[in-house]
Each structure stands twice: as structure tokens, then as C-alpha cells.
Amino acid sequence: MLPPPFVRRLLLTPLLFALTLLIIVVFPVAYPVAFVLGRDRGRAARLLWFALTWGTRESVAVLECGWLWCRRRAHDDRHYDIIRRYVAALYAVAERRLGLRVRIEGDAETGTGGDRPLIVLSRHAGPGDALLLVHHLLTDYRRRPRVVMKSQLQLDPCVDIAANRMPNVFVSPGGRAIDDISCLATGLGPRDALMIFPEGGNFTPERRQRAIRRLTRLRRADEAERASRMPNLMPPRPGGVLAALEAAPSADVVFVAHIGLDDMTTAGDIWRRVPLTGVVHAHWWRIPAEDVPGDRDARTDWLYTQWERADAWITANRAPEPK
């Protein structure tokens, strides 16, 4: 169970500032040492630079949120600008220092076409895919994301302060996630985009097997059988998606499949893969609201059909193993 907001911010925000100051102080010495002694493509130096950017940009974002609070603008839309600058800075340093390259394919109108609300359903695999998605929605498509995320992310001071001042939902096991998602989807504006990760967590083969066994225990044999034929994805959990579709019937739906971050599930994986040698390749496709089935069972079948399409795309475009 998370500490209450006052306790989190009282303890973790000064800790963020202290750690950032520590990185700034030791960086002039630590970076040359890491650069000279680092073997195998200077991983330590690259990650140290990324940590410096992360700490300084997050500290700046928290201070900007504090300034808005002092001016009694705690729920001002300027928080989107704060998050846009913060995430864009992380994206830029990941490109320069970690070798990040992103290629997005799909319909030209996926993110920008028309002033209609969006429900964005993405796979969840690898570190940072949520940040990449938020970055592209905010910066490239000028959308205002509403994100469904795990409650533990509130241990991050910037996420805790900024995200709780905007329309977002933090979910925890046993919570009222479906009701929260329904409330979040209600009243989506023409430039809003509700982000949901239907798998419910980061993909791992073990979690996939557990999810399939759960469907079998619940006697949802058809869904279990279809899920067993999707080796790259966990079966989608329809509850939150159906609640969003019902609450926002005029919203178009965007599906996102991606590859390139799949094999980075642990700190050791990240260490071995930096700098990134492959491209993070994403495929987006958009389905107009009028083409979404109206019946609940038909919507569940439709969701699985789209998830099967994503799985097939991943199989066909799987990045080669790094050498």
C-alpha cells in the first residue's frame, strides 16, 4: 500500500533533489572515468549522462508544478506543457546517448486527423514504451493524453504531482479500475487521447502463460484458445476497454504494436542492449468510432481480432537478435 500523498511528497521530493544534486556534483569526475574505463561501447558513460538529464529535467518539472501551485493554478492545462518538455528532453537524450531510433508507420491520419477524441490501446513491452507513446501524442500529434497507469508510479515525484493534477487514473490490484476508466473516458474532448494498456502489465512469457491459465480457470475457453495462438502478446483484458468504449462512444480507436524494446525486461538486459543497435518500430492503425461494434460480446471478439492483427505484425517484423 502506498503512503498518502502528503507523506510521499514530503519524503520523495527532497530525495529527488538530493540525488540530482549528487549526480551533478560527481558528474565532472565520474563521466571521464566511466568514459575512459568503460568497455564495450561506453555503456556506463551513456547511462550516467541519461541519469543526469533525467534527474535535472524531473527536478525542473517538479519545481514548475510547485510554481503553478503557488499561483493557484494546480489544475491548469499548463501541466501538459511541463510534461511535454520533460518527456521531450528524455527522448532527445535517449536519441543522442542511448542510440534510440523510432520509426512509426500506419495511417497518415492516425494521430492528427480530425478533432475527434481517441482511445489508444497499446501493447506493453519493454522499458519506456509508455513514455515514448506519451511523447508522440503530446509533441507530434498535439494530443492531451489521459493515461491509465499503475499506482506504484506515484512513487516518482513528477508523476505523482503532475499526473494527479490532470485527468489520469492510477489502478491497483483489487481496485475499482473499470469504474475509474469509465469516469476517465467520460467527457473526452476533441484533442484528448485516453491511453490504455489492455494486457495489464509488461509482457513476459511467464505472465502470458499465467494469463492463459486464468482464462481457462474462468471457463473462457475461446479466449484462452485464441490467446494461445498469440506468442508475442498477453491476452487483452476487455473490462477496461469496454468501459471506455461505452463511456466515449464518439471516440475513434487507435491500436499500437511495436518491437525493439521487447528483450529489455531487467536492468541486466538494459545494460547489455545499450547503446541500442536496432530501431524501435511501431505500427499504428485507427478505427473510426462508427466501425466499432455496438454489442458487448461483439466488442470483445473485435478486440481479440485487433490483438491478433498486432501479434501477426510483430511476428512479421520481429527485429533480429543483437549480435
**Residue 233 in contact with residue 197, Cβ under 8 Å?**
no
Please state the pTM of the whole predicted model: 0.91
What was the pLDDT predicted at 126? Answer: 75
Tens of pLDDT along the chain (323 residues) come to: 789 999 999 999 999 999 999 999 999 999 988 888 766 668 889 999 999 999 999 999 999 999 999 988 888 889 999 999 999 999 999 999 999 999 998 864 555 456 889 999 999 987 788 899 999 999 988 999 999 998 999 999 999 999 999 999 998 876 678 999 999 999 899 999 999 999 988 888 999 999 999 999 999 999 999 999 999 999 999 999 999 999 999 999 999 999 988 877 777 888 888 888 889 999 999 999 999 999 999 999 999 999 999 999 999 998 555 44
Longest dimension (CA), the chain: 63
The pLDDT value recorded for residue 322 is 47
Query: Could you tell me whether strands 280-287 and 102-106 are parallel, antiparallel, or unpaired per DSSP bridges?
Result: parallel
Are 256 and 282 spatial neighbours (Cβ–Cβ below 8 Å)? yes
Q: At what angle do helices 296-317 and 221-228 cross, to 10 degrees?
A: 10
Q: Please indicate, yes or no, if residue 322 is contained in any of the structural domains.
A: no
The closest alpha carbon to 86, from 28, 25, 139, belongs to: 139
pLDDT for position 18: 98
Single out the residue of 53, 75, 79, 52 nearest to residue 64, CA to CA. 79
Residue 49 lies in a domain: yes
d(CA 184, CA 135): 20
In a domain, residue 323? The reply is: no
Task: Please give the C-alpha separations between residue 87 and each of 94, 106, 129, 238, 292, in angstroms, as whole numbers.
Answer: 10, 23, 12, 29, 32
- pLDDT, residue 276, reads 84
CA distance 19 to 48: 13
| Residue 196 falls inside a structural domain | yes
Q: From CA 245, how far away is CA 243, in angstroms rounded?
A: 6
Contacts for 189 with CB less than 8 Å, ≥ 6 apart: 117, 144
* 169, part of any domain: yes
Residue 182, in any domain of the structure: yes
State the cell numbers at 229.
Answer: 495462438
Q: How would you write 189-215 as a 3-class SS string?
A: CCCEEEEECCCCCCCCHHHHHHHHHHH
Answer yes or no: is 61 within a domain: yes
Q: What is the domain count for the chain?
A: 1
Report yes or no on 48 lying in a domain: yes
Residue range of the domain that includes 163? 5-317
